[in-house]
Amino acid sequence: GGGGRTRQCGLVRAMRDACVVRAACAGFAAACVGGASTALERMARGGLARRSARGARRYSASVLRRASACSSRLTRIRRVETARACAAKGLAAHEEAQVRAMETLRVLAELRLTLAAPVDVYGPSALTYQCASESERQYQVLISTMLSSQTRDLALGPVVRRLQETSNASGARGLTVERILGESEESLSELLRGVSFHHTKAKNILAATQRLVSDFDAQVPRSLDSLLALKGVGQKMAHIVMHAAFGDITGIAVDTHVHRIANRLGWASSWHSRSNAPEKTRNQLEVLFPREQWQRVNHTLVAFGQTICEARRPQCSNCPVAQACVAPQIGQQPARAEVK
């Protein structure tokens, strides 16, 4: 009767589902996913034999769901394996690039020993003078570094010497906290004439010095975050101060020379970045070089950029690493970095 045909149709659908299950499970078995697919196929065959038409359909659907879960697990496993393979390939490429960069840096460091660069005489760490205490020397490093922003070392030296060798109206002499706080913004701006943006720098130096007195007991803080909280102090300045004042290496200080040469040598790829290019260069260099080489990078590239690898007229014929330069392939000259 009608009931018999219904049961027969139900069994046909159940067996059709069972065939789908067996086909799916056979595929999973071929992939050898922990034997789970074989178990599912066995469950499907045994379970269908013991169930009515409706129960068989439900059981078949249950097995299909479990098979689908196995498929998802297999997909995840394959994705992880693919990611690991890509990571291994990327690591090998990074290690190869690091070896080449270290060799280039070694050659430049040997050349650096023979170079007499302006930074050696007028750099912030070279300009400390007649300091009565270590805290005074650290303050002179901070102010010299703030004045060095976007200013040639040859122009920086005379301005710092002027501060160190003169007195304010109240008689305080030298480049000290007391003397700077005794200056008005106008008088300090006049003393700073010769460095770029001397009006802005006078305002920033007064604000930073007042902050040192109010928050740090008139001491230069030995903390990158605290230095960055001072008005007018950027990432490059903070890293320089941490090393020159305290001997701590917290990052690579990227000025216009480091930014330019790193891109010319292919160590960084921030030539055409419209914003925050020095920070991008710093991040790429700190990934490329081990931490113990960070200070060497700045010390070597600044002098190299001041004497040989200049921005507009690089002396390529005198460059010992000219074969490593990628500038001709990527536009020759990068935009000059605006670095604080």
Of 6-20, 171-185, 256-270, the poorest mean pLDDT is in 6-20
User: Per-residue confidence at 298, pLDDT binned at 50, 70, 90?
Assistant: very high
Provide the H-helix boundaries in the chain.
2-31, 36-49, 53-112, 118-122, 134-148, 153-165, 177-181, 185-191, 198-216, 224-228, 235-246, 256-264, 277-288, 294-307
Query: Treating both helix axes as pointing N-terminal to C-terminal, what angle do 134-148 and 235-246 enclose, rounded to 10 degrees?
Result: 150
Residue 154 reports pLDDT greater than 80: yes
Provide the pLDDT for residue 19: 55
Biggest CA–CA distance in the chain, Å, is 120
Concatenated DSSP letters of 246-296:
H----S----HHHHHHHHHTTS---TT-SS-HHHHHHHHHHHHS-GGGHHH
Q: Which residue has the higher pLDDT, 147 or 78?
A: 147
Please state the pTM of the whole predicted model: 0.68
Provide the pLDDT for residue 330: 45
pLDDT digits (tens, 9 = 90+) for 173-229: 889 999 999 999 999 999 999 999 999 999 999 999 999 999 999 999 999 999 999
Which residue in 249, 285, 280 sits closest to 265, CA to CA? 285
pLDDT digits (tens, 9 = 90+) for 86-99: 666 666 776 888 88
Provide the pLDDT for residue 326: 84
Residue 75 reports pLDDT greater than 90: no
Q: Which residue has the higher pLDDT, 198 or 12?
A: 198
Provide the pLDDT for residue 29: 47
CA 107 to chain centre: 24
340 is known as an active-site residue? no
Of 119-128, 155-164, 193-202, the poorest mean pLDDT is in 119-128
Which is catalytic among the residues 201, 231, 236, 340? Answer: 236
Provide the pLDDT for residue 170: 80
Residue 235 reports pLDDT greater than 80: yes
DSSP bridge pairs for 173: 167
